[in-house]
Amino acid sequence: MSDQYDSTRVGFRDGLVALAEKRDDIVFVSTDSLKVVKGEPFAARWPERVIEVGIAEQNGVALAAGLASAGLRPYLCTYAGFLTMRACEQMRTFVGYPKANVRFVGVNAGLFGGNREGVSHQFIEDIGILRAIPGFTILCPADGGQTKQAVLASADIEGPVYIRIGSGREERVFPEGTPFEIGKIRVMRSYGDDVALFCHGFVTNRVLAAAEELRRSGVGATVVEVATIKPLDAAGIAEVLGRCRCAVTVEDHNVIGGLGSAISEVIAEGEGGAAGARLVRLGLQDCYGESGFPDELLDAYGMSVADIAAAAARARAGRP
């Protein structure tokens, strides 16, 4: 892996190592996924705290529920969809329902995460699935450093946590060491109240670029990172919507069930001046992706910088 990336997978691994140095309840459950996240340094230091179950996600999740019931804090990291789809019921009935302290880290999220692997390894439904299951904290860090911070912050959350990460080829978004605050939106740019741009994950730099482009054309955008999808900072989002009155959501996920849906709900419920705000949702338009290079895929599926700027114009045109 080259240094040009700020790998979320390595971020996860480094976060886990940092946690395990401080506490003895951290366990890594591998579904033949230890090498996927370059977990060898963890396994070398704490071999007794690695449980390898093989390619068997349902077993990994239900087993992790058993570990958690005995007071451990297992982290299970593998492909996002093999967790949230193949082992969905185990996540719901054996982890979510009894509020077990299991932490899930889903790799290859979105088209960007799955890229050339194609649809079987591109997961665009995970957030929607987990939003519908009570009790999960859902975190979507934007880069490797943020992933590490999210892992550190996740340790003390009561109940299950899902952290959505990528392939290991992510761009840096935040300076190293930037904290990850669970449950709060982060305003990244305040160029004006002409339009709000909400996003999370590996599209963030594109959204920032679109905000610059809009600014050059005289449109002041507010860029908001929503890295905690659940519990959603509805008050913070409503405050931004109350000021801007129109918004674009950008997410590498189906537009159904993810950030776009979550913000639609805030608008529909009309808290804090959000009522009636105009929204345009970018993301997968209820379709599957295909193989391709990561950036190429985001461009092809409507998440280019130009698409974001154009969506902002549509949102502004429909502003109440």
Partner 1 sequence: MIERARIEALEERARQIRRDVVEMVYRTGDGHPSPSMSAADMIAALYFDVMRLDPANPSWEGRDRFVLSKGHACPAMYAALCGRGYFPREELFTLRFLHTRLQGHPYAPKTPGLDATTGSLGNGVSVGLGMALAARIKKLDYRVYVITGDGELGEGLIWEAAMCAGHQKAANLTVFVDNNNYQSGGTVGEVSGVYPIAEKWRDFGWHVQEIDGHDMGQILQAVENAQRENERPSAIVAKTVKGKGVSFMIGDNSWHKRVYTDKEYEIAMRELGGAR
Summarize as ranges the residues that interact with partner 1 (CB under 8 A).
27, 48-49, 51, 53-54, 56, 58-59, 62-72, 74, 89-90, 93-94, 97-99
Nearest to 182 by CA among 157, 160, 207: 157
CB of 69 to partner 1, least distance (A): 6
CB of 15 to partner 1, least distance (A): 20
Task: Specify the residue, 54 or 270, whose C-beta has the smaller distance to partner 1.
Answer: 54
Task: Specify the residue, 93 or 285, whose C-beta has the smaller distance to partner 1.
Answer: 93
Q: Residue type at 9?
A: R
Separation CA 246–CA 243 (nearest Å): 9
CB of 63 to partner 1, least distance (A): 4
CB of 62 to partner 1, least distance (A): 3
Task: Specify the residue, 57 or 143, whose C-beta has the smaller distance to partner 1.
Answer: 57
CB of 21 to partner 1, least distance (A): 17
Separation CA 182–CA 163 (nearest Å): 11
Task: Specify the residue, 49 or 131, whose C-beta has the smaller distance to partner 1.
Answer: 49
Nearest to 247 by CA among 230, 228, 269, 266: 266
CB of 54 to partner 1, least distance (A): 7
CB of 53 to partner 1, least distance (A): 5
Task: Specify the residue, 155 or 232, whose C-beta has the smaller distance to partner 1.
Answer: 155
Q: Which residue's entry shows tokens 């290079």?
A: 293
Task: Specify the residue, 64 or 312, whose C-beta has the smaller distance to partner 1.
Answer: 64
Separation CA 262–CA 319 (nearest Å): 19
Separation CA 21–CA 125 (nearest Å): 34
Task: Specify the residue, 3 or 48, whose C-beta has the smaller distance to partner 1.
Answer: 48
